[in-house]
Chain A
Amino acid sequence: SQKIEQNSEALNIQEGKTATLTCNYTNYSPAYLQWYRQDPGRGPVFLLLIRENEKEKRKERLKVTFDTTLKQSLFHITASQPADSATYLCAPPRADKLIFGTGTRLQVFP
């Protein structure tokens, strides 16, 4: 069955550094992949969608890559700020159903 793995449960980085989160998927080939941010007690918020024919996509301080050969997506936050602290979820769909990873909890400390 399909499996989504995000690199670690938690990632702690210092303010101003670049945070890099990893999403690996197995046993299927999604046509696109989405990234969401979730704060405690709230629903996820859509951040970026990248399609299989796009190698990279950017939005302000966010950058996503999509390597269909490695079956991996990388999510970067440059010049990270404490306000970026949240859980980040990747979601590569299968048969039009979004399959969410378990998430990486990012903590940016001053």
Chain B
Amino acid sequence: KAGVTQTPRYLIKTRGQQVTLSCSPISGHRSVSWYQQTPGQGLQFLFEYFSETQRNKGNFPGRFSGRQFSNSRSEMNVSTLELGDSALYLCASSVGQGGYEQYFGPGTRLTVT
């Protein structure tokens, strides 16, 4: 089975721009979660989607949004980028919600200049 894939792997954006990141889960997995990882804050939960609905949300501003498509693929969007948004964005999929191990993708390294 193919693992979780994320595109693009690297991205450089300017402050004020917006960005869209994509995640393809493992086939058969219906839950997709997004995380932000920075050296200072560690791995922080952004949101989780299951069956095209956002089921859970972390403590991030409304500039961070996401969606899930009927094939379980997911995108996250960050608008009005700030320097502090520079981070590794990780997507993880699991077979269901809660209590299941998560399978992470390689991440998208976003640099905001």
Instruction: Across the interface, name the chain A residue whose C-beta is closest to B33.
Output: A98
Choose from A31, A89, A100 the contact partner of B99 (Cβ within 8 Å). A31
Interface residues of A in 30-57 (CB under 8 A from B): 31-32, 34, 41-46, 49
C-beta contact mask, A87-110 vs B, less than 8 Å → 1, else 0? 001000101111111110000000
Q: Does B49 interact with chain A (Cβ within 8 Å)?
A: no
Q: Is the interface of B mostly helix, strand, loop or mixed?
A: strand
Q: Which residues of B contact A34 (CB under 8 A)?
A: 101-102
Choose from B4, B43, B56, B105 the contact partner of A96 (Cβ within 8 Å). B56
Cβ contact within 8 Å between B48 and A44:
no
Instruction: Across the interface, name the chain B residue whose C-beta is closest to A100.
Output: B43
B94 → A minimal CB distance (Å):
9
Cβ contact within 8 Å between B43 and A89:
yes
Q: Does B103 interact with chain A (Cβ within 8 Å)?
A: yes
Choose from B42, B56, B107 the contact partner of A43 (Cβ within 8 Å). B107
Instruction: Across the interface, name the chain A residue whose C-beta is closest to B50.
Output: A96
Instruction: Across the interface, name the chain A residue whose C-beta is closest to B31.
Output: A96
B4 → A minimal CB distance (Å):
8
Known: A97-B45, A97-B58. A49 touches B106 (CB 8 A): no
C-beta contact mask, B83-105 vs A, less than 8 Å → 1, else 0? 00000001010000111011111
> Which residues of B line the A interface, CB within 8 A?
4, 33, 35, 42-45, 48, 55-56, 58, 90, 92, 97-99, 101-107
Q: Apart from A45-B104, A97-B45, list 5 A-B contacts with CB within 8 A.
A: A46-B101, A98-B45, A101-B42, A102-B42, A103-B43
A sample of 30 cross-chain residue pairs with beta-carbon separation below 8 angstroms, ordered by A number, consists of A31-B99, A34-B101, A34-B102, A41-B106, A42-B106, A42-B107, A43-B90, A43-B104, A43-B106, A43-B107, A44-B43, A44-B102, A46-B101, A46-B102, A89-B43, A93-B98, A93-B99, A96-B55, A96-B56, A96-B97, A96-B98, A96-B99, A97-B48, A97-B56, A97-B58, A98-B45, A98-B102, A99-B45, A100-B44, A103-B43
